[in-house]
Structure 1
Amino acid sequence: MRKIFFAILIASGLFACQQNPANNKDTQNPNEHLVMATLWYQRASECRALYYQAFNAAKLSLDKQLATYSGKKAKAVVVDIDETVLDNSPFETNSIRTGKSYSSTAWKEWTDMAKAQATPGALEFLKYAESKGVETFYISNRDTSATNKTLQNLKELGFPFADKAHILLKTNTSVKTVRRNKVSETHDILILAGDNIGDFDEILEDRSENYGFGKVDRMKNLFGAKFIVLPNPMYGSWERQVLKSDKKLNANEKEKLRIKRLIGYEEI
């Protein structure tokens, strides 16, 4: 009888494991990989320090450029929005907790709340630029349908130039060259700030050769001067090269590919 009892117990346990998504790799949370990245972004004081460091560098660079400026155009700084001046990490938290993959519908639900908080140092820097007669343009790959709610969010936080004349959201392409060029028609862009390498120059969009490292190396003198990079380990266009595949990948396959792309003892 005891042997039969234990046999039933073991069988029940195996059945429970099969029914529990946490124990089934085929149905694992597709956002599990975001946990450490999002936790670091929200709880590491190093992340906060990096934002202050970046905007301090932006201020120093702006002062230096203004001291020698002899142009006739109006002056501007161009900033991305998400993870540059607005913190959307609660959206990542919600994705982790619900286990739902990114979707435009879920993203719209978040942006419609207009509850994103300012990133450390962003508001202070842009107000400082305003005090020096420098306008801010917000170039973001949020869809144009998010214009009103995005402006509401920026205005409620006190960001300068939060109006339709100074916000350029995505229409038919995520590449920002055309929108940057539009600003350049009337303004000299002194500073560009963003969390994605494509926020600075179209040439950096292509990462097919060694993840784009060579291009960054050749432009290294611009970083911390005209180009100000903000930290974002949660998502970005860099993921496309890491997860490059000839087929559509499920969560388990993506995780295996991420591990494969790591540099370990064998690769050095």
Structure 2
Amino acid sequence: MKNRIALLLLILTIGCKSTSIQSNDSISKSQKGDVLNKEYSILAVLWQQNSAEYKALTYQAFNTAQLQLDNMLRNKKGSEKPMAIVTDIDETLLDNSPYNAKMIELNEDYSEARWIEWGKERKAKAIPGALEFFKYAKSRGVEIFYISNRLSKQKRETIENMQKLGFPFSDDQHVLLKTDTSKKESRRFQVEKTHEIIMLLGDNLSDFHFVFDDQPSETRSRKVDSLKTFFGNKFIVLPNPMYGDWETDGILEGNYKWTPYQKDSIRRSKIRSY
């Protein structure tokens, strides 16, 4: 009997040591950056690519935009400037979820080289409802300006992708990409010199106003509250769970140097439970 008890204790001790070693091994690998650093985004990409709810939300956004546009034009008073809509491109009128899927497949973070590779494919599809809305806006005499943080060297393939899909005003004059800064206020001001901006569309709050630039989550949330009457009226927001300032400036606190292990820890720490 004593021998059996001793053997059982030995097995349990070995099992505990083995578990401890595996756990420490796992932590060690994570600290070295060997975690699956894109694993966390799988559900977001799956949702955008497969859920009917995503389509419903984009249709809802563009239906709202058309209703508001009609209302604005009905009540518009005379203006010396022609009317314009300013819109973002990525995840607002072009779907780049295949690029995010590629990052998951290769377990790699964003890289300029890979992003340019995807852009050169010219395969981004239109966000549901986008093409119909922008064509409608043109038919009502409204110009479209596309302000995007795609790199300026991507301009040719970006315009060609948009032209292939049939987006109006897909030309050098109306597509304003990033040059020296990712902040969009100066490019919006450039449009305002010659046009009256009556509506803005985007998937990121910085697409609408400079007060959201480089701000942490709490500040972004407070600013949304203070501007709540603009959303669904002049500001039309498209859903994007895959990436954005909500993560980089918000969750990850504007720090681009976290290791994959640190990012994973930060994401977990920001979850609110009960």
Q: Is the 8 A contact 1:206 1:212 kept in 2?
A: no
Corresponding residue for 1:4?
A: none
Shift, 1:211, TM fit: 4.2
Q: Is the 8 A contact 1:38 1:92 kept in 2?
A: yes
C-alpha distance in 2, partners of 1:139/1:209? 24
Q: Is the 8 A contact 1:154 1:162 kept in 2?
A: yes
RMSD: 2.2
Question: What's the CA shift string for 1:211-243, capped at 9, x where partnerless?
Answer: 411110010000000000000000001112211
* Residues 80 and 172 of structure 1, relative CA distance in 2, 3 Å threshold: same
TM-score (norm 1): 0.88
Q: Is the 8 A contact 1:211 1:241 kept in 2?
A: no
Q: Is the 8 A contact 1:143 1:170 kept in 2?
A: yes
Three-state SS of the structure 1 residue aligned to 2:189 is helix
Q: Match for 2:269: what amino acid? A: K
TM-score (norm 2): 0.86
1:176-215 to 2 correspondences below 5 Å? 176-208=184-216, 210-215=218-223
Work out whether 1:76 is the aligned partner of 2:84: yes
C-alpha distance in 2, partners of 1:168/1:245? 25
Corresponding residue for 1:166?
A: 174
Identity among equivalent pairs (%): 45
| Displaced runs of 4 or more, over 6 A | none
Question: 1:259 pairs with 260, 268, 273, which one?
Answer: 268
1:1-268 to 2 correspondences below 5 Å? 25=30, 26-70=33-77, 71-208=79-216, 210-239=218-247, 240-244=249-253, 248-265=257-274
Question: What's the CA shift string for 1:31-89, capped at 9, x where partnerless?
Answer: 11110010011111111100000001100110011011122211111110000000000
Q: Is the 8 A contact 2:217 2:251 kept in 1?
A: no
Three-state SS of the structure 2 residue aligned to 1:40 is helix
Question: What's the CA shift string for 1:181-240, capped at 9, x where partnerless?
Answer: 110111111110000000000012242371411110010000000000000000001112
Q: Is the 8 A contact 2:214 2:254 kept in 1?
A: no
* Residues 256 and 225 of structure 1, relative CA distance in 2, 3 Å threshold: same
Q: Is the 8 A contact 2:41 2:242 kept in 1?
A: yes
C-alpha distance in 2, partners of 1:232/1:78? 18
Bigger CA radius of gyration? 2
Unaligned runs of 5+ in 1: 1-9
C-alpha distance in 1, partners of 2:83/2:36? 47
Shift, 1:24, TM fit: 5.2
C-alpha distance in 1, partners of 2:214/2:157? 31
C-alpha distance in 2, partners of 1:209/1:95? 25
Three-state SS of the structure 1 residue aligned to 2:144 is strand
Unaligned runs of 5+ in 2: 1-14
Q: Is the 8 A contact 2:217 2:250 kept in 1?
A: no
Corresponding residue for 2:11?
A: none
* Residues 187 and 261 of structure 1, relative CA distance in 2, 3 Å threshold: same
